[in-house]
Amino acid sequence: ELKVEQNPLFLSMQEGKNYTIYCNYSTTSDRLYWYRQDPGKSLESLFVLLSNGAVKQEGRLMASLDTKARLSTLHITAAVHDLSATYFCAVGWSGGSNYKLTFGKGTLLTVNP
């Protein structure tokens, strides 16, 4: 069974600082997703990472994937208050007609002025 561990689960940081959220997974996968969820709202897709060494950036967020280490990171640069949300990683694999996706527990990020 695929297990996904995110850490930290809670992160409080000051505006302007940098930090990284980690997503470890237990077995081979062929894709990794990052999502954002604001309180009381639905999910928003952030990144899809499909290959070893993949790096994607959008604004102050950058995601990377190391399939050999079974690790993805979400790096936050010069945080601003608007980035406060819960961030989820999810690890997926597909085999034939099967498609599975396992989520981490989420990281609640609070950016303080």
Partner 1 sequence: ETGVTQTPRHLVMGMTNKKSLKCEQHLGHNAMYWYKQSAKKPLELMFVYNFKEQTENNSVPSRFSPECPNSSHLFLHLHTLQPEDSALYLCASSQDLLDSWQYFGPGTRLTVT
Interface with partner 1 includes 44 (CB under 8 A)? Answer: yes
Residue with tokens 């993949």: 54
| Closer of 2 and 80 to partner 1 (Cβ) | 2
Number of C-beta neighbours around residue 52 at 10 A? 10
**Piece of the chain touching partner 1 by CB under 8 A; list 8-16, 59-67, 75-83, 104-112:** 104-112
| Closer of 76 and 88 to partner 1 (Cβ) | 88
**How near is the Cβ of 72 to partner 1 at its closest, in Å?**
16
Number of C-beta neighbours around residue 13 at 10 A? 16
What's the rounded Cα separation, in Å, for the pair 46 and 34? 5
Interface with partner 1 includes 42 (CB under 8 A)? Answer: yes
List of residues contacting partner 1 (CB under 8 A): 4, 31, 33, 41-45, 48, 50, 88, 90, 94, 97-106
